[in-house]
Each structure stands twice: as C-alpha cells, then as structure tokens.
Amino acid sequence: MLQCYNRGCGQLFDEAANNDESCRHHPGEPFFHDAYKGWSCCHKKSVDFTEFLNIKGCTLAKHSNVKPPEPEKPTKDDSNEAKDEVIVVRAPIREAMRRPPLETPFRVLQPTVAAALKETIDTLKVSSAAPAATPFGEASDAIAVGTSCKNNGCSHSFTGTDSDNGQCAYHPGVPIFHEGMKFWSCCQKRTSDFAQFMAQRGCVNGQHKWVKETRKVVQCRYDWHQTATNVVVAIYAKKYHYAQSVIEVNPIRLHVKLVFPEQENATFDIDLELGGIVNVDKASAYMYGTKVEITLPKLEAGSWSKLNFKRATMPAAKKTIAAEVPKNDESDEEFFDLDDIEPVYTHGLKLSDMSLQQPNNLD
C-alpha cells in the first residue's frame, strides 16, 4: 500500500487498483486570509480550521505517492538590506563654554521705568533732617577715651593722643562662617579657631573710625524662572528710587542695588555669581511699581540647575539685626534665598561687639 500525497486525500492505495476516479482531492493551493481558510480551486472556505480540513476535494484523478514540491522561500537580498539600513548621525557633543573671570567689568543696564513708579518717586516728599557728621579730628572730646575702633579687625582704642591718627590695619570685607571655617571675604585666610580668626591682622591700611556707621539694610524677596533662551530674575520692592538704584551685569555676575528714600536711603544690595553664562549685550531690565524684572539671555543652550553658582561677596546680609532690616514688599512672607548660601554679615556689625564664645548658629 502506498501513501497518496494529493491535497485533501491522504489515503493509502494499491497501485494495481489505482484509476482515474480513485482519488478525490484539491488541485489548487490552500489560502488563509482575514480568518478564512479555503482552497483556490473551488473557492470553498471556512473560519473553522477543522471544517477547512474536512472540505471534500473537487477533482477526481489517480492517487499519487509523489510529494508536491515545497514552496520556495524568498531569498534574502543583502544588497537591498544594506541600502535600506538607516545610519543615525548624532551631532557632536558641544564642549561647555569657559566661564569668564568673576572680575570681568560690569555693564550698567539702563532700565525701562514704569510711569507709575516714576510718578510715585517724583512726588515723594522725603525728610531732609539728618544728624550732621563729625569730621575726623574735630570735637574729639565727644569721643570717650577707651572707645574701640569700629573697623573690623582693628583692636586699637581711643587715647586722645597722636597715636589715634596712626594707620589702622583693618578688614574691609565681611566675616564668613561656613562648615566650621572662619575667614574674611577680603583676604580669604581660613581657620577653624575662633580666637585665631579674631587675631588676624587687617589686610588694608587706613584711618581709625571711632563712630559706628548707622546704615539700614532692606530685605527684599526675590525669585527667578527660565525659558529655553532667557533667565528672568524678579526682585519684589516698592518705592525704590529708580534713578539712584543700580543694575549691572557681567557674563557670570549680577549686581543689584536698590535705594529707598523713604527709609533714610536704606538699601537692598545683592551680588550673585550666576549659574550660567549670559549675553550681556542683550540683557535688559524693567522697573515696575512693585518689582524689578531683569532678563538675562543665555549665551549657551541648556537649563540652569540654580540661579547662583555660588554667592559672591555681598555688601548686604543674609542675617543681620532685625531692627535694622525693615521689610519692603509689605507681605507676610518671610525673606528666603533660592539656594543654600554662606551666612554673611553687614559691614556695620563688628565682631568685637560679639561674645568671644563662638555662637552656635554661625556654623
């Protein structure tokens, strides 16, 4: 007995009894399309696979034990594949721009002043009554003998003799206490010992100062946001003098000084080393009645993680005496800085007035 390989038959047959009507099969090809299974010769189809296998052949013929040829598999054309291959070309990684020196000269911005602010300041009446300053060397009897020099780092006391006219070695900068280290911003000599820090000799020579300067510092809240091309800094303040205030910038530094005539010319002074590089020529500023808005175009693409790379030496203080720091924006929100910065103190605060014991809140 031989095996019939005609499609749709699959029976065993005896070659001696094989004739033209022995085998019922499908001479066409099976097809599978859209869930249908069928034969191309008789166009019979079904969605069920079992029914498809049970469809009777449409043609009678002799059984055949010859296997039908297998359909040829399509040959893989390597040449076409090479042509269709997509080659991804990435732009080269741009090297970050080199940061200019911090001491690069500033460019003073000429802000656009809102009409409401200009009218408010021009019509503002400020009291001109102010105590007259005593020139050095005159009315020396008003200075008590033993009065210490108010310059930072100077330990000389007033004696009423010619020695009071000698040179005064002092620190023009501000004291900084950070991570256990103590140093002056002007000469950067660091030490962890408080007594040794107090004994550091001044780095600048000048005249003694016997009368403590009374200077008011105003706290203003500030914020910032950025776009793909610009960084915008907003300082919230009211009744500041648009002509006496100064906004200046260099590629990596922003300095803003606002003057408040109603508060005896008290000032808000901030000096930031920026987190990126800006295009100074395209920088602009706008003075509103409630805020100052400064637009700093980015010189290189990318997002800034923070506004200030680090805090530069600041005339204004983060911490100071509460009585000398009135709030200006008339809001209930407390003043805050955007990033963690080193605590800095005003020039008017003399360390000799503090306890020789290191304060716990300075580290």
Phi, psi of 229 (to 5 degrees): -120, -20
Phi, psi of 120 (to 5 degrees): -65, -45
What is the percent of the chain with per-residue pLDDT over 70, rounded to a whole number? 74
Q: Say whether pLDDT at 312 is over 60.
A: no
Q: Say whether pLDDT at 235 is over 90.
A: yes
In order of start, what are the domains of the chain with their CATH numbers? 2-61 (4.10.1130.20), 107-123+214-331 (2.60.40.790), 144-206 (4.10.1130.20)
Which residues have CB under 8 Å from 105's CB, separation 6+?
250
Q: Say whether pLDDT at 232 is over 60.
A: yes
Structure tokens at 247: 């906004």
Structure pTM? 0.45
Q: What length does the chain have?
A: 363
Single out the residue of 310, 319, 311 nearest to residue 361, CA to CA.
319
Phi, psi of 53 (to 5 degrees): -70, -25
The pLDDT of residue 326:
47
Residue 169: strand, helix, or coil: strand
pLDDT in tens, 23-39: 888 888 888 887 788 88
Highest mean pLDDT of the ranges 63-77, 145-159, 226-240, 345-359: 226-240
Distance CA 140, CA 117 (A): 44
Q: Residue range 77-88: average pLDDT?
A: 64
Structure tokens at 43: 């166009």
pLDDT in tens, 105-155: 999 999 999 999 999 998 887 654 444 444 443 444 577 888 888 888 888
List the alpha helices (DSSP H) in 251-338: none
Mean pLDDT across the chain, nearest whole number? Answer: 76
pLDDT in tens, 277-307: 999 999 999 999 999 999 999 988 888 888 8
| Region of poorest pLDDT, from 75-79, 259-263, 271-275 | 75-79
